[in-house]
Amino acid sequence: MSNTQSLPLAVSDLTVAYHRKPVLWDIEFTVPSGELVGIVGPNGAGKSTLIKAVMDLLPRSSGRIEVFGEPFRRQRHRVGYVPQRESVDWDFPVTALDVVAMGLYRQIGWLRRVRAEHHQRALQAMDRVGIADFAHRQISQLSGGQQQRTFLARALVQDADLYLMDEPFAAVDAATERAIVEVLREMKRAGKTVLVVHHDLQTVAEYFDSVLLLNLRVVAYGPTAQVFHNENLQKTYGGRLTLLDEAAEAMRRRGQSR
């Protein structure tokens, strides 16, 4: 089977543990090409852990992960990663353009400098998310949303086929949210596959084709219209009352919109 026909992501029997305490338990799912998948679950459900495990950033106790039919390390050039914004120190002495160009470092190679053509490509990616005007700002002078878009542009510039995004919508302004949603739709049109860790239940149905409800294990996975319902959300969020209310509200709204 050639790579292009293989599934972008196939996870089977995945278990990850910290200090012998399992944080992901027997995860199994596959993602078909061109899907926008939301990963939803309460805090500590293992959402970030899941996408980190996919990229071999964490040791796994068991399980097999295939990216386009091969181990991740062979296909990493086809995977773009958007980490959580808080994961880095934004006071670092680089410009937004420098950060976006980091997505090209592998292509540029050791010893060589970032050249004009690379800056050009980085600027194009920044333009797609609407922050080209801030290219030469030091990154601490960007707003939170602009920082998030900088990370998104860094992943875009790689021109990957599978994107893994960790809470890109967390604490961003409306303009950023619109820009990210627009990019997600563009990606889908271009046949890219995107997994997004998402916390806002209100927008799940609007943004994603399918949804993976996660709480240590996969509670439910499938087309959003079929699995994103009250019963599954209750299973996912357990006894957390406030979140249940939120979920119920989301369901109500979804019912109204039909």
Partner 1 sequence: MNLWTVIANANDITVWQSLYRIVSLQDYNTRVVLLGTGLLGTLAGLVGSFALLRKRALLGDALSHATLPGIALAFLLANAWGFHEKSLGILLVGAAISGILGTVTILLIRRYTRLYEDTAMGIVLSVFFGLGVVLLGLVQQTPGGNAAGLETFIYGRAASISQADVQLIAVVGLVAAALVSLGFKELTLLCFDETYAATRGYRVWLLDLSLMTLMVLVTIVGLQSVGLILMIALLVIPPAAARFWTDRLPVMVFLAMVFGATSCLLGAIASGLYPRLPSGAMMVLAAAGCFGVSLLFGYRRGIVWDFAQQLQYRFRTDRQHLLRALFEQLEIRDRDDSEKFATTTDIPESDLLAMRSWSSTQLRRSAWHAAQAGLVVASPPNQWRLTISGYHAARKLVHDHRLLELYLIRHADIAPSRVDQDADAIEHWLEPAMIAELEAEMSSTISQQKLPASPHPVVPTITPGDDALRNRNNHGQH
Query: Is the CB of 50 or the CB of 220 nearer to partner 1?
Result: 50
Residues 34-53 touching partner 1, rule: CB under 8 A, are: 52
Window of 8-16, 111-119, 178-186, 219-227 that interacts with partner 1 by CB under 8 A? 111-119
With binding defined as CB under 8 A, does residue 79 bind partner 1?
yes
Query: Smallest distance, Å, CB 153 to partner 1?
Result: 13
With binding defined as CB under 8 A, does residue 189 bind partner 1?
no
Query: Smallest distance, Å, CB 17 to partner 1?
Result: 15
With binding defined as CB under 8 A, does residue 92 bind partner 1?
yes
With binding defined as CB under 8 A, does residue 194 bind partner 1?
no
> Tokens in use for 138?
């030091």
Q: Which amino acid is at 229?
A: H
With binding defined as CB under 8 A, does residue 88 bind partner 1?
yes
With binding defined as CB under 8 A, does residue 110 bind partner 1?
yes
C-beta of residue 27 within 8 angstroms of C-beta of residue 15: yes
Window of 23-31, 72-80, 167-175, 186-194 that interacts with partner 1 by CB under 8 A? 72-80
Among 8, 38, 41, 83, binds partner 1 (CB under 8 A): 83
> Tokens in use for 119?
């800056």
Among 89, 116, 241, 255, binds partner 1 (CB under 8 A): 89
Residues of this chain that interact with partner 1 (CB under 8 A) are 52, 55, 57, 73, 76, 79, 81, 83, 87-89, 92-95, 98-99, 102, 105-106, 108, 110-111, 113-114, 138, 154
